[in-house]
Every structure is written in C-alpha cells, then in structure tokens.
C-alpha cells in the first residue's frame, strides 16, 4: 500500500502465531521462540533483527502482531524522504 507519506507492507503467515510475551523479543538478535530449534532446524535468529535495523536506519518501523485466527503478521512502514 502506498500513501502520500510512506509505503506500507504487511506479510502474514497462517502458522500458529507467537506467544504474546515473545512478540517484542522476536526482533532481538539470536532469539528463537522455540528452544528446541537450532541452526540446523530453524536458522540463527538474526533475520528479523537485521530487517528491523535496516528499516530503522531509513526512519521506518517494523512491528509484529498475531492475527485473530492464528498466524503472525509483520508490518513494515517506510517513509518517503522529502528532499
């Protein structure tokens, strides 16, 4: 979605969602929601941390929320720069 001040991107999945207490922590480097996951089964825990940092450098925001009927949504807002 493009508005006059920014572009908005929402990406949702249809998984089981994330525990509310872990939503904010998902963007912390090396955090994995499930302790049983490791590099061979679930990555390094850096993807959302890198994405949030890159978006922040451009004065944008990355927020996470659970969908009402399951699944996680990642909401990204990137403002347009006026020159």
CATH code, domain carrying 15: 3.30.565.10
Its domain, for residue 60, covers: 6-79
Residue 68 lies in a domain: yes
Residue 62 lies in a domain: yes
Burial state string for 36-65 with b = 16 or more CB within 10 A and e = fewer than 16: eeeeeeeeebeebbeebeebeeeebebebb
How much is the pTM?
0.78
pLDDT score recorded for residue 38:
54
How many distinct structural domains can be found in the chain?
1
pLDDT score recorded for residue 39:
57
Residue 31 lies in a domain: yes
pLDDT score recorded for residue 36:
44
Structure-token match 């944008």, residue found = 60
Q: Could you state, in chain order, the average pLDDT of each consecutive group of 10 residues for the chain (83 residues)?
A: 84 90 84 60 78 96 93 94 66
Residue 1 lies in a domain: no
pLDDT score recorded for residue 81:
76
């Amino acid at each position: 979605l493009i508005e006059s001040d920014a572009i908005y991107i929402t990406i949702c999945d249809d998984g089981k969602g994330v525990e509310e207490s872990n939503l904010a922590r998902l963007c912390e480097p090396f955090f994995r929601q499930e302790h049983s996951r490791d590099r061979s089964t679930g990555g390094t825990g850096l993807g959302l941390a890198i994405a949030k940092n890159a978006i922040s450098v451009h004065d944008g925001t990355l927020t996470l929320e659970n969908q009402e009927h399951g699944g996680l949504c990642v909401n990204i807002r990137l403002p347009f720069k006026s020159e």
